[in-house]
Amino acid sequence: MYDICGEKELKVCLALDPGDSISGVARKIDENRETIRRVVNRLEEAGYVVYDDGLQLVDQTIRDAGLDFLTVTAALSPPSISEAYVLPQFAGMVYAFTGIDAVYVWTRGGYQVARDPADYPLFIAVHESELEAWTAFFDRFGIPTSTKRQPTRALDGAIQVVLEPRPEIDAEMVDGRSVISLQETVAFANEYYATFESALDMLGRMYDDVDTDASYRMEPA
């Protein structure tokens, strides 16, 4: 009964959406595919998960109970920065990383604008109708939210989430993370060119369809 109650089993149950593949779940929770394959096999044998046109969680109450457990543990051990990036996967709502986090995701972690670990905002686009639900979700883990970045002195911890409410979200999946489109990310980086010049160069080399303003900002010879 207790042999499938480990950390990775819990993360799989929380992150799994109907139709997910093993690779997709592994990317969502930043785990090795082969490790998650073994975890999923154990969950299937125990009757928690089935294969039916992709992975399916047998009973939604498993996920609900897992989230309640995670909430309790967060009070004793607050989420780290890396764990905070995974948490939105467990909310069961549509979202997309935006702003500087979209640049981070689209460069596949290759570019990270300087952020102080003691003052670390995450930027996430959410549906307008779910703004309060997102606030309540992060509040369960002791992470403050706002629609504008808050000064460090106003917070108790290092992590905050800046929620950007939108009527619609055009999200794509990159390495298991939901993120705004590449075109919108490039437009944001171009708007703050001085900060993201090297990121734009990186994106231009990574993706053929990226159009940056770099050529227009070069000093004349």
CATH 3.40.309.10 corresponds to the domain 7-70: no
Instruction: Cite the residue boundaries of each domain of the chain with CATH code 3.30.460.
Output: 81-213
pLDDT at residue 153 in the model: 80
**CB-CB contact of 212 with 186 (8 Å):** yes
CATH number, domain 81-213: 3.30.460
pLDDT per residue over 52-93, tens digit each? 889 999 988 988 999 999 999 998 899 999 999 999 999 989
Please give the structure tokens belonging to residue 67.
């989230």
Please give the structure tokens belonging to residue 137.
């979700």
pTM of the model: 0.86
Task: Annotate 51-107 with DSSP letters as a single string.
Answer: ESSSEEES-HHHHHHHHHHHHHHHHHS---HHHHHHGGGGS-S-EEE-HHHHHHHHT
- Phi, then psi, of 191 in degrees rounded to 5: -65, -30
pLDDT at residue 200 in the model: 94
